[in-house]
Structure 1
């Protein structure tokens, strides 16, 4: 975990090769975004793929919103639901890359 002026960050990776580039040979575990929401303590944000081409920061509230949106999207069409589409990773990257290398 790294401490920043905006609070603590924990690095997470979308691939084993990205983790290896960052940490070398190490133990690792895998989880889903939904589980990551529950695993992040309050006030801790996730820095996704810190050495990748497009690193981005997600905080717990953003992750919760994604999980809620995904759950709404999974509701059958006959049920009232939002017609909003889920944000793309590129969209999240653009919104959350502030302070992460440019």
Structure 2
């Protein structure tokens, strides 16, 4: 009887731990998305690049991935299109960094 109760307790703790870490991941993802200054279109483009890079890495290997990255660099003007972030002017105007005074 006591042994069965112990296994139930372990099961509850295990399931609770999995749910707890799932909730932490959910909150972290939501926070990251809601606080990002990257435009939605660029975020979607980054996710598409990530999926394609992962597919190439697993199916074709590191050499093919390096070639794919070079092709992307040739297509885009700066080489890394996801670094060209577009901040809305209202975000810049309302930024707390704008109100800081110089130290000297």
The answer to whether TM tops 0.5 is no
Normalised by the length of structure 1, the TM-score is 0.33
Normalised by the length of structure 2, the TM-score is 0.32
Compare the two structures and name the one with the higher helix fraction.
2
